[in-house]
Amino acid sequence: MIDYSIEKCFLVTKEDYVNMTVDKNSYLTPKENKIILRVMGMIAVCCGAAAFVSIRESIYQILCWLILILIGFYALSYYDVIAPVQSEKYAQKYYEYHRKQLESSVTLCVTEELFQTHTAAHQLCLPQKYIYQIIEGKHTILVFIDKNEFCFIPKRVLDDESLRYIADFAGDKYKKL
């Protein structure tokens, strides 16, 4: 382990909360679900396109094939485009409604043995061995205490050296999205 520690103080912003929600939802969605939906989308697009080209006896059939193609494209783009946009909109509304509870100053301290965060309302002090998993998302670091509970660190407050240190701190419990 490197002899190094991280001490940061930051304010959780609306953008941080929205980014955390998108990263969390991306992580919590099983890869199998993503694969199955994409395969179904490809099948729908291919079947719809083949039928559109070969079977055009009436306007209703043409519309059905076009709708099948659109459903296929929807399924293909759901986890990459649609779900993140929905998550962002929901998180923005949630943040606005709960702004006073969510907008807080956070002090982060990571040492060789401990992961600590402090806010006005909460304090977390975890030895490294009790961390369930640390996930590096696109904009946030998600620190899971167990399968369902976590705290987050916006990547904007960490430099490259701090990110490497957190990865070293977590060891085999560290994963990138």
Split into its structural domains, the chain has a count of: 2
Please give the pLDDT value at position 121: 82
Domain holding 63, by residue range, is 29-98
What are the C-alpha distances in Å from 21 to residues 103, 114, 137, 139? 15, 25, 10, 10
Higher pLDDT, 4 or 169: 169
- What is the distance, to the nearest Å, from the Cα of residue 60 to the centroid of all Cα atoms in its chain? 41
The answer on 58 and 68 residing in a single domain is: yes
Burial class (CB in 10 A: 0-12, 13-18, 19+), 33: exposed
The answer on 76 and 108 residing in a single domain is: no
For the beta sheet containing 174-176, the strands, ordered from the edge strand earlier in sequence to the opposite edge, are 150-154, 140-144, 133-136, 174-176
Q: Which of 27-41, 79-93, 96-110 has the lowest mean pLDDT?
A: 96-110
The answer on 14 and 82 residing in a single domain is: no
Please give the pLDDT value at position 57: 84
Is 136 among the domain residues?
yes
CATH number at residue 110: 2.30.29
The answer on 67 and 131 residing in a single domain is: no
Q: Could you give phi then psi for residue 55, rounded to 5 degrees? A: -120, 100
Burial annotation 147-156 (CB, 10 A radius, 16+ → b, else e): eeebbbbbbe
Burial class (CB in 10 A: 0-12, 13-18, 19+), 9: exposed
Higher pLDDT, 111 or 1: 111
The answer on 94 and 126 residing in a single domain is: no
The answer on 149 and 105 residing in a single domain is: yes
CB atoms within 10 A of CB 115: 24
Q: Is the pLDDT of residue 56 over 80?
A: no
The answer on 84 and 34 residing in a single domain is: yes
Among 40, 65, 98, the domain-final residue is 98
Is 37 among the domain residues?
yes
Confidence class for position 1, pLDDT limits 50, 70, 90: very low
Q: Is the pLDDT of residue 3 over 70?
A: no
Is 1 among the domain residues?
no
